[in-house]
């Protein structure tokens, strides 16, 4: 069956739509194109029949109509088979299930993102970051307790706070406002556990007397290197009763909760179909910025603070996700994810994070929803970079496969990854084992670009040509400061950060360099000494006084070990790599260290886990 578009069109209208090419070429030679996803007023050209037969999409029970409509315009057909699909928008699944993903398949989740998608894990991980880096950097979430573990601390905080304080109670894994209540007496505390208890933000910013929150759409195309995008539009959801701080009103969910699924049940709820209008109980985010701007509010400052929250929160999930990716996913291509961040503004217009949704609602009940979510999904799918696989890559699974993890994807082949050359491993080890590396040193990472370096940089530049209304917020010209928040330094994050610093104000020059390298097919593998790091020497250039430092490039031995990240059923073991024979020979007094997870930031040296080399 072919998935149809959402708007019925006459044949005349169909004929008048602009036809767009089915494939978006890469900026660079010898890199395959990506599939184009159109808006409703465009039509996409038909590919040749042999390629068109490969356009299969796995439809699940949770695939939203807005996704079905978008892929239908690009001539995807729904399939119930488990092995021949290219894309799927479905449920999150337990980490071992990701092993079944074929290298040509792309699923809309990463393993382990529940570490910010579950309310209790989100607060636990943000609290860890606050302990490590201080409240000045991590003060954007309310004081939170997870019961039953924190019951004694909560009782003390409750008694210290006096009788006028309010607390909000949330089940840790619920959605749509289910089970949430605001209380002010200890006797109102539910006995059911587990439970999340938070200090209630009792002085929210109000518009026309109503409380509201923001739904911000965030897209992560890859976790290693980490690339984070934020959509320029979003939704503003209002409570449908005017706000009161009176204790007597705490039971009124239409006043204290902003969830659409709660407020639509109120007879006084007013819908809004105009994405430019400031009316009703749901607005477009751009309409809110227009409204606040007219009141003299600096909306740019609020937006920058929201971006800061997003980057830090995604980084809090990063060690868990990358650990599980190494264990369960064959290729980085196979995973991407849309997050729905819920943000509230207090009376001083400070943004606070309320929760992160790893399956944000894409139901489109009004023209406003279609306008915002339709554009967002179309831009997201273009940004994702779906490729047409070679016919040989879409293989029928072995009939002997009976693993439970094959229900989504079929087959249970052993995971395969593109192997880094010994030269690339040596380079990565070298840049990750410098405890006191400065900017002059780190900038030399671009001096001899290896094949994998060129692949990653070309992919990153290509994504920037497919942004639509998304904006990349990490890496960016100003994102270097966030590298210190990573539990473990990763080579590719350093590479992209240095690329941004060097070429952000002259991208044409960077693109020209990569074009030349791709023309020479460097990204496909090379024996050219100019692109083999071990054949080049930069030591004397970045630190003349360390002439006695010798780089031994004869061998690097990488072993693997397993690291446990809490007692999670979905995050029990994380794979890391450690260097047992480092490519560095130290002289007395040298600042090179064998700590394979050492950060290039001096301030992080004491807080990182030695002998972990998670980025290889």
Confidence of residue 579 (pLDDT cuts 50, 70, 90): very low
For the chain, where do the domains classified as CATH 3.30.470 start and end?
114-306+338-372
For residue 458, give both structure tokens. Answer: 């070309």
Region 496-502: what's the mean pLDDT?
Answer: 97
Taking only the tens place, the pLDDT of each residue in 375-425 is 999 999 999 999 999 877 776 554 333 333 333 433 333 334 457 899 999
Of 211-215, 308-312, 560-564, which gets the smallest average pLDDT?
Answer: 560-564
Mean pLDDT of the chain, nearest integer: 82
The DSSP code for 335 is B
Residues 6+ positions from 513 with CB-CB distance below 8 Å: none
Taking only the tens place, the pLDDT of each residue in 451-497 is 999 999 999 999 999 999 999 999 999 999 999 999 999 999 999 99
The pLDDT of residue 172 is 76
Q: Is the pLDDT of residue 589 over 50?
A: no
Cα four-point dihedral sign 375, 381, 384, 387: negative
The pLDDT of residue 434 is 83
For residue 505, give both structure tokens. Answer: 């104000």
The DSSP code for 181 is E
Strands (E), 313-465: 337-345, 351-357
Percent of the chain with pLDDT over 90: 58
Region 564-577: what's the mean pLDDT?
Answer: 41
Q: What is the pTM of this model?
A: 0.85
Top pLDDT among 330 and 193 is at 330
Q: Is the pLDDT of residue 137 over 50?
A: yes
Strands (E), 156-251: 167-170, 181-183, 195-199, 212-223, 226-238
Of 70-79, 96-105, 307-316, 587-596, which gets the smallest average pLDDT?
Answer: 587-596
Question: What is 114-306+338-372's CATH number?
Answer: 3.30.470
Taking only the tens place, the pLDDT of each residue in 53-94 is 999 999 999 999 999 999 999 999 998 777 789 999 999 989
CA distances to 404, 522, 594 from 32, in Å:
33, 15, 39
């Amino acid at each position: 069956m072919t998935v149809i578009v959402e708007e019925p069109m006459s044949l005349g209208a169909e004929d008048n739509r602009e036809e767009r090419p089915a494939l978006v070429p890469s900026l660079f030679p010898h890199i395959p194109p990506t599939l184009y996803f159109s808006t409703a007023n465009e039509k996409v050209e038909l590919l040749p029949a042999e390629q068109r037969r490969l356009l299969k999409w796995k439809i699940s029970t949770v695939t939203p109509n807005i996704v079905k409509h978008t892929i239908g315009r690009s001539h995807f057909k729904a399939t119930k088979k488990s092995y021949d699909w290219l894309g799927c928008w479905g449920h999150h699944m337990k980490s071992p299930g990701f092993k079944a993903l074929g290298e040509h398949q792309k699923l809309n989740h990463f393993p382990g993102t529940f570490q910010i998608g579950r309310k209790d894990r989100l607060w636990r991980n943000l609290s860890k970051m606050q302990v490590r880096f201080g409240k000045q950097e991590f003060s954007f979430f309310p004081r939170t307790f997870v019961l039953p573990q924190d019951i004694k601390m909560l009782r003390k905080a409750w008694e210290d706070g006096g009788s006028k304080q309010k607390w909000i109670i949330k089940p840790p894994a619920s959605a749509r406002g289910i089970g949430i209540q605001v209380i002010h007496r200890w006797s109102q505390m539910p006995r059911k556990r587990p439970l999340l208890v938070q200090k209630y933000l009792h002085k929210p910013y109000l518009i026309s007397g109503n409380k509201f929150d923001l739904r911000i759409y965030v897209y992560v195309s890859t976790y290693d290197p980490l690339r984070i995008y934020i959509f320029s539009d979003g939704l503003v959801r209002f409570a449908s009763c005017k706000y009161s701080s009176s204790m007597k009103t705490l039971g009124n969910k239409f006043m204290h909760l902003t969830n659409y699924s709660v407020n639509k049940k109120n007879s006084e709820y007013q819908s809004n179909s105009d994405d430019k209008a400031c009316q009703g109980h749901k607005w477009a985010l751009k309409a809110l910025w227009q409204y606040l701007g007219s009141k003299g509010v600096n909306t740019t400052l609020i937006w920058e603070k929201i971006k800061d929250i997003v980057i830090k929160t995604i980084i809090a999930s990063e060690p868990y996700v990358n650990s599980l990716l190494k264990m369960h996913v064959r290729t980085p291509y196979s995973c991407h994810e849309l997050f729905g961040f819920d943000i509230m503004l207090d009376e001083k217009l400070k943004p606070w994070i309320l929760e992160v949704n790893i399956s944000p609602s894409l139901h489109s009940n009004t023209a406003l929803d279609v306008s915002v979510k339709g554009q967002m999904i179309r831009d997201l799918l273009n940004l994702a970079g779906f490729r047409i696989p070679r016919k040989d890559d879409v293989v029928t699974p072995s009939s002997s496969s009976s693993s439970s993890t094959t229900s989504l994807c079929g087959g249970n082949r052993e995971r395969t990854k593109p192997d880094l050359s010994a030269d690339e491993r040596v380079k990565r080890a070298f840049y990750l084992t410098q405890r006191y590396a400065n900017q002059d040193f780190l900038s030399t990472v671009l001096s001899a670009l290896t094949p994998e370096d060129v692949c990653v940089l070309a992919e990153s530049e290509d994504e920037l040509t497919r942004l639509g209304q998304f904006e990349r917020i990490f890496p960016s010209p100003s994102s270097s400061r966030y590298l210190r928040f990573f539990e473990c330094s990763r080579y590719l994050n350093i590479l992209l950060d240095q690329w941004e610093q060097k070429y952000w104000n002259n991208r044409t020059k960077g693109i020209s360099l990569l074009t030349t390298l791709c023309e020479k097919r460097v990204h496909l593998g090379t024996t050219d000494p100019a692109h083999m790091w071990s054949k080049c020497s930069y030591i004397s250039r970045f630190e003349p006084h360390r002439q006695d430092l010798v780089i031994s490039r004869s061998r690097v031995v990488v072993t693997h070990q397993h690291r446990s990240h809490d007692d999670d059923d979905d995050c029990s073991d994380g794979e890391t790599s450690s260097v047992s024979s480092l490519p560095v020979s130290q002289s007395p007094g040298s600042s090179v260290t064998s700590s394979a997870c050492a950060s290039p930031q001096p301030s992080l040296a004491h807080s990182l886990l030695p002998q972990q080399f998670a980025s290889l």
